[in-house]
Amino acid sequence: MYDTIIVGAGSAGCVLANRLTEDPSRRVLLLEAGPRDTHLWIHVPLGYGRLFTKSEVNWGYESEPEPALNGRRVFTPRGKVLGGSSSINGLVYIRGQPEDFDGWGIPGWGFADLLPYFKKAENQHRGADDWHGTGGPLEVADLPDKHELCDAFIASAERLGIPRNDDFNGARQEGTGYYQATACRGRRCSTATGYLRPAEKRANLTVRTGALVTRIVFEGKRAVGVECQGKIFTGREVILSGGAFNSPQLLQLSGVGPGELLQRHGIPMVHDLPGVGEDLQDHFYARTFWRCSRPITLNDDMLSLWRKAGMLANYVFRKKGPLTISAGYAAAFVRTRPELERPDAQIYFINFSTAKRGGVLHTHSGFTCAVSQLQVESRGSVRIKSADPTVQPAIRYNYLSSENDRRVMVEGLKVARKICTTAPMRDYVAGEYYPGEKVKSDEDWLAFCREVGETVFHPTSTCRMGKVVDSRLRVLGLTNLRVVDASVMPSVPSGNINAAVIAVAEKAADLLREEACGR
């Protein structure tokens, strides 16, 4: 008998394992379907590109055919390893905008309520202030090197009226500058390294890897444990932290979800809860590629044996150089219409280019300028396709189903092109490699999005507060069962979501502590 069973050792699960075991009287079991985070490329920041394929550390999901994307399926990496997606993501540290959390409309979950948890989680290398904290488990730091291409991108954005911003997680998100990353001394800081590693020294925490949970065990409407590898583990409370795909999948497999869906797959009904797996949101993303007029890109480094050797030496001995780059180097958070009160598009800039993410770099000097929308309107779903827990669920993003989502993508890509063709950036441009000058009209840009757009790995909202869980993250209509991960967010925040998931888990741990004190 455990006090708490946590299913999923990802961004949220590792936070909970750490914070809950600070109470030595609480026995916690943490179950993770994947292996330990020993894979070399997990810990090298630029190594995220080596982790995109389906493997022992990546669920490697694929969406159903997307109607708005010409019927294409979208490859969807998710972490299957200690640290979850925080072990394979692009390391970019972005919290979102205060209006995102205030807009959830859930008492206790506004930005003022979450800011203390953002700060508590953080060990900000710039030091503490009104917006940032130090001493937390999550290392947050500037990238070790500047780059002249990034400097040119930022200068051109400023010339177009986009203000310089050296802290996207401070008083305002709008502007252009360099990203910060969840890294320290040249190594990734996942929740496994930041939160779980210290907690594993505690006698009251048990961690099992290679442990796929196949169902939640109920007595009536009360969760009493989980089944894993043919064994039953019992606990006073079960917490699902499998993320926006796996948490609703496990609920549905366990008899909690839309009644018609469960009946279709022959799953005995425990609780008819139609919202489970609905309302999926994600940021849509499209990349443009540019030829660089000077041999200063990572593409060039990879073409030269001597430059590759120098890059490796720079990383090993100085913890600097291209191997410390995150999935974004510089950025611009922009308003695609001047009358908007806050940014609605995120522009990523990085000093290399590749036709396939995680694939071989182009053989010419090149860089990438990509766009995603921030306040998403389109919603999809996650539904089991089988009663077999090893069969991936049906993921339907339903991208571009909103007129505004389509407009933001088109206008954001036009802004990205303006930046790249404005001095000083245009002095580095030898040509627009893709999509090229053939794309001119709004219709052309939208067709381009349908042809190449994909996920930027920020799925949320499939067990959202108010429809599946209450404001204390308890599953509605059931007892001793919670969900704590990105799926509980009513809508996706504006930007990369890992920081927000960690803050949600920090707050959830406090809610659990409050209840323990009240018993």
pLDDT tens-digit map of 199-258: 999 999 999 999 999 999 999 999 999 999 899 999 999 999 999 999 999 999 999 999
Q: Is residue 409 part of a domain?
A: yes
Give the chain's domain count.
2
How far is Cα of residue 493 from the mean position of the Cα atoms in its chain?
Answer: 10
Q: Are residues 266 and 161 in the same domain?
A: no
CA-wise closest residue to 61 among 189, 210, 214, 249:
249
Last residue of a domain, one of 420, 435, 452: 452
Distance CA 347, CA 507 (A): 30
Q: 161: buried, middle or exposed (CB in 10 Å: 19+, 13-18, 0-12)?
A: exposed
458 is catalytic: yes
* Domain identity same for 300 and 390: no
**Helix, strand, coil % over all residues of the chain, rounded to 5:** 30, 25, 45
Do both 253 and 293 map to the same domain? no
Q: Categorize the per-residue pLDDT at 358 as very low, low, confident or very high, splitting at 50, 70 and 90.
A: confident
- Tell whether 63 is covered by a domain: no
CA 237 to chain centre: 26
pLDDT at 519: 62
Residues 256 and 289 in one domain: no
In this structure, what is the dihedral angle of CA atoms 152, 154, 157, 163, given to the nearest 10 degrees?
-150
Quick one: 367 and 502 in the same domain? Answer: no
Cis peptide preceding 343, ω within 30 of 0: no
Q: Are residues 110 and 207 in the same domain?
A: yes
Quickly count: other Cβ atoms within 10 Å of residue 191's Cβ.
33
The answer to whether residue 332 is domain-embedded is: yes
Is pLDDT above 70 for 482? Answer: yes
Indicate whether 374 pLDDT > 90: yes
- The pTM score is 0.97
Residues 6+ apart with CB under 8 A from 54: 60
CA 136 to chain centre: 20
> What is the rounded distance in angstroms from the CA atom of residue 30 to the CA atom of residue 47?
26
**Are residues 196 and 244 located together in one domain of the fold?**
yes
Residues 405-433 pLDDT 10s: 999 999 999 999 999 999 999 999 999 99
* Whether 361 and 390 share a structural domain: no
Question: What average pLDDT does this structure show over 117-144?
Answer: 98
Task: State yes or no: pLDDT of 517 exceeds 90.
Answer: no
In DSSP terms, which residues pair with 429 in a beta bridge?
292
Would you say residue 359 lies in a domain? yes
pLDDT in tens, 15-42: 999 999 999 999 999 999 999 999 999 9
Residues 13 and 126 in one domain: yes
Regarding whether 262 and 215 lie in a shared domain, the answer is: yes
Can you give the residue range of the structural domain that contains 314?
144-178+284-373+400-452
Cα separation, 143 vs 350, in Å, equals 13
Q: Residue 201 falls within a domain, yes or no?
A: yes
Q: Looking at residue 516, what is its pLDDT?
A: 83
**Cα(100)–Cα(375) distance, integer angstroms:** 8
Instruction: Decide which of 194 and 356 is more confident.
Output: 194
Q: What is the pLDDT, as a whole number, of residue 229?
A: 87
Could you please report the per-residue DSSP string of 492-514?
A: --SS--HHHHHHHHHHHHHHHHH
Same domain? For 83 and 168 the reply is no
Which has more pLDDT, 356 or 195?
A: 195
The angle formed by the CA atoms of residues 374, 144 and 366, to the nearest 5 degrees, is 65
User: Which listed residue (132, 147, 271, 458) is catalytic?
Assistant: 458
Residue 59 located in a structural domain: no
Instruction: State the greatest distance between any 2 C-alpha atoms of the chain, in Å, as a whole number.
Output: 68
Residue at 58 is within a domain: no
For the domain that residue 130 is a member of, what is the CATH number? 3.50.50.60
The secondary element (H helix, E strand) that includes residue 197 is helix 197-199
Residue 295 CA, distance from chain mean position: 32
**Which residue, of 419, 436, 452, is where some domain finishes?**
452
- CATH code for the domain in which residue 320 is found: 3.30.410.40
Q: Are 88 and 236 found together in one domain?
A: yes
Nearest CA to 47 among 180, 149, 144, 186? 186
Query: Is 66 within a domain?
Result: no
